[in-house]
Amino acid sequence: MPPQRTFVDIPLLLITGALVVFGLVMLASASAPIGYDKFGDSYYYLKHQMVFGLIPGIFGLFFMSRVSYLFWKRHAMTLLFVSIALLVLVFIPGLSASIGTARSWVSIGGWFTFQPSEIAKLTFLIYLSAWLASRGEEGIKNVSSGFAAFALALGGMMALLAVQPDIGTMVILAGMAVIIYFSAGAPVAHIGGLLGGGMAALAVLISMAPYRAARFMTFLNPELDPQGIGYHINQALLAIGSGGLFGLGYGHSRQKFQYLPEVFGDSIFAVIAEEMGLFVASAMIVFFLAFLWRALHIAKRAPDAFGRYVALGIGSWIALQAFVNIGSMVAILPITGVPLPFVSYGGSSLAITMTAVGVLLNISKQRTE
User: 280-334, pLDDT tens digit by residue?
Assistant: 999 999 999 999 999 999 999 999 999 999 999 999 999 999 999 999 898 888 8
pLDDT at 2 over 50: no
The answer for residues whose C-beta is within 8 angstroms of residue 128's C-beta and 6 or more apart is: 150, 153, 154, 177, 180, 181, 309, 313
How would you list the strands of the sheet with 96-99, edge to edge? 96-99, 102-108, 112-114
Band the pLDDT of 1: cuts 50, 70, 90.
very low
The answer for residues whose C-beta is within 8 angstroms of residue 293's C-beta and 6 or more apart is: none
Beta bridge partners of 105: 97
Band the pLDDT of 223: cuts 50, 70, 90.
low
Residues of the domain holding 129: 4-367
pLDDT at 87 over 80: yes
Average pLDDT over residues 191-210: 77
Q: Write down the pLDDT at residue 46.
A: 95
Average pLDDT over residues 356-363: 96
d(CA 25, CA 30): 9
Closest CA to 338 of 170, 87, 154: 170
Return the higher-pLDDT residue of 277 and 92. Answer: 277
The count of structural domains within the chain is: 1
d(CA 170, CA 136): 26
**Residues 326, 260 contacting (CB under 8 angstroms):** no
Torsion of CA 307, 296, 287, 64, to 10 degrees: 10
E strands, the chain, in order: 4-5, 96-99, 102-108, 112-114, 366-367
DSSP class per residue in 184-237: TT--HHHHHHHHHHHHHHHHHHHHH-HHHHHHHHHHH-TTSSTTTTTHHHHHHH
Is the overall model pTM greater than 0.75, yes or no? yes
pLDDT at 100 over 60: no
CA atoms 236, 240, 243, 244: torsion sign:
negative
Q: Write down the pLDDT at residue 30.
A: 93
Q: Write down the pLDDT at residue 85.
A: 86
